[in-house]
Homo-oligomer: A and B are copies of this chain.
Amino acid sequence: MQFSPDVLNEKCGSRAVLSHVTSRWGALVLIALMDGTLRFSALRRRVGGVSERMLTQSLRLLEDDGLIERIAHQVVPPHVDYRLTPIGTDVARNVLALARCIESNLDTITRFQNARASA
């Protein structure tokens, strides 16, 4: 492959991965897993507002991209652990940095929005 991937190019495969990583719940799952291995129910409690359905779906997509690993213990009641793969950790670090950046600027952003709304 002599051309390097470019997300601004419509046909580039990186677009699909980016969409999984930046999806509403996908991004939050990656951030939550930065704390370490978590089981399904713990993840659900950690990521505020996610439904079981969406959590499952987001986990599958990230798993298919090789960003997270699913470890199912063959016991009943079920016990399934999720953790970041090496690449997933790399990606999640960047997602977390983005989130932290937004969090730390939130105050300014909110003030800007209010000033603009009342103008």
Contact, CB under 8 Å: A65 / B5: no
How many copies of the polypeptide does the oligomer hold? 2
CB-based contact A8/B106 at 8 Å: no
Is B21 touching A65 in the complex (CB atoms < 8 A)?
A: no
Q: How far is the CA of A8 from the CA of B95 in the complex (A)?
A: 13
Selected contact of A31 from candidates B4, B7, B97, B106, CB within 8 Å: B7
10 contacts between A and B (CB under 8 A): A5-B102, A5-B106, A7-B99, A8-B32, A17-B106, A19-B24, A22-B98, A64-B116, A90-B101, A91-B98
Nearest residue, chain B, Cβ from A32: B8
Q: Which residues of B contact A95 (CB under 8 A)?
A: 98
